[in-house]
Copies of this chain bind each other. A is one copy, B any other.
Amino acid sequence: MGFSIHSKLKDDTFNLGSFQLCEVLLMNDSRFPWIILVPKIPDLRDFHEIPSQHRDVLFQEIERASEAIQKHQRVDKMNVAALGNQVPQLHIHVIGRLKTDEAWPNPVWGHGTPIPYDITSKSNVIQSFKRELAIAER
């Protein structure tokens, strides 16, 4: 089977574009600056299953996402996680956390109810993240 993004990930996010290894998604939850990286390799589930020749690039792309979030907004901590209990396809969360955010100091998953971006802020946040991630408009 070829690579495609799991339907639940598609439903919950906006596609920001594509890095060398990963598709780059923005979680549609305005409470947190929250990027999801999905390696474009079929049938991966767990973090350590990333083939060794792709690990450097994955690390660089996690760094690129972390730095984009830090440019977007001053955050207190980055949370980086590959969980996959709900969506088994390997995907890596990169989330900027503030000591004043509503979930702090707990993890964001399962906390409260997502607040989707409204139509104006959606367009702004997508443009801003594409710029900070250095992803060209398609």
Residues of A within 8 A of B (CB): 45-48, 50, 52, 55-56, 59, 62-63, 66-67, 77-86, 88, 97, 104-107, 109-110
Q: Which residues from chain B contact A104 at a C-beta distance below 8 Å?
A: 85
Which residues of the partner chain B approach A55 to less than 8 Å between Cβ atoms?
55-56, 59
Question: In this complex, what residue of B is CB-closest to A56?
Answer: B55
From B56, B63, B88, B107, contact of A48 by CB (8 A): B63
Please measure, in the bound complex, the distance between the C-alpha atom of A46 and the C-alpha atom of B97, giving whole angstroms.
11
Contacts A50-B59, A83-B107, A107-B107 known; 8 new A-B pairs at CB < 8 A: A45-B77, A46-B78, A47-B78, A48-B80, A77-B85, A78-B82, A81-B83, A106-B109
A80, B110: Cβ atoms closer than 8 Å: no
A60 CB → nearest B CB, Å = 8
Contact partners of A106 in chain B: CB under 8 A = 85, 109-110
In the bound complex, how far is the Cα of B110 from the Cα of A29, in angstroms? Answer: 21
Shortest CB–CB separation between residue A126 and chain B, in angstroms? Answer: 22
Q: Which residue of B lies closest to A45 (CB)?
A: B77
> Which B residues lie within 8 Å of A84 (CB)?
77, 79
Contacts of A50 in B (CB 8 A): 59
Q: How far is the CA of A91 from the CA of B73 in the complex (A)?
A: 24
* CB of A6 to closest CB in B, whole Å: 14
A105 partner, pick from B81, B85, B105, beta carbons under 8 A:
B85
